[in-house]
A = this chain, B = another copy of it.
Amino acid sequence: MRIGELSRRTGVHERLLRYYEQQGLLYPERAPSGYRSYQESDVETVRRIRRLLSAGLNTETIATVLPCVRVKAGNLVPVCPEVIDDLRAHRERLTQAIEELLASRDLLDAVLEAAPLELTR
């Protein structure tokens, strides 16, 4: 498919699809005209990219990480240990943030529970 359709199907600005390619996250084929030609699977890849970005990873890290995901797709891709370590570190940070927010929410719940009943609705 061409870039317009991929953009429509993912909700991601064409400009960004080109940018992701430039950053090594996507590598569509090219028609003789020069038009980019994307695989069906790129739809899912783009969504993954977006999720990883919103998780706080940068494009460079994502570039090293996407091939791992592709392992699942059946291709063999060697991944160096330090990347794995990076990912684990990032996972750790996410976990900390999650726990922090969970604790905050529990506290909030306690306060809300302590609120006079007549205010609860």
Contacts and interface: CB of A to CB of B under 8 A. Distances in A.
A31 interface: no
A78 interface: yes
A68 interface: yes
Interface residues of A, number: 45
A100 B100 CA distance: 14
Contacts of A111: 65, 68-69, 71, 77, 87
Interface in A78-99: 78-81, 84, 87-88, 90-91, 93-98
A89 B61 CA distance: 23
Contacts of A97: 51-52, 54-55, 57, 101
Interface stretch (A5-13, A22-30, A113-121): A113-121
A45 to B, nearest CB: 11
Contacts of A109: 91
A85 to B, nearest CB: 9
Contact of A91 (B68, B87, B93, B108): B108
A68 B104 contact: yes
A26 B76 CA distance: 48
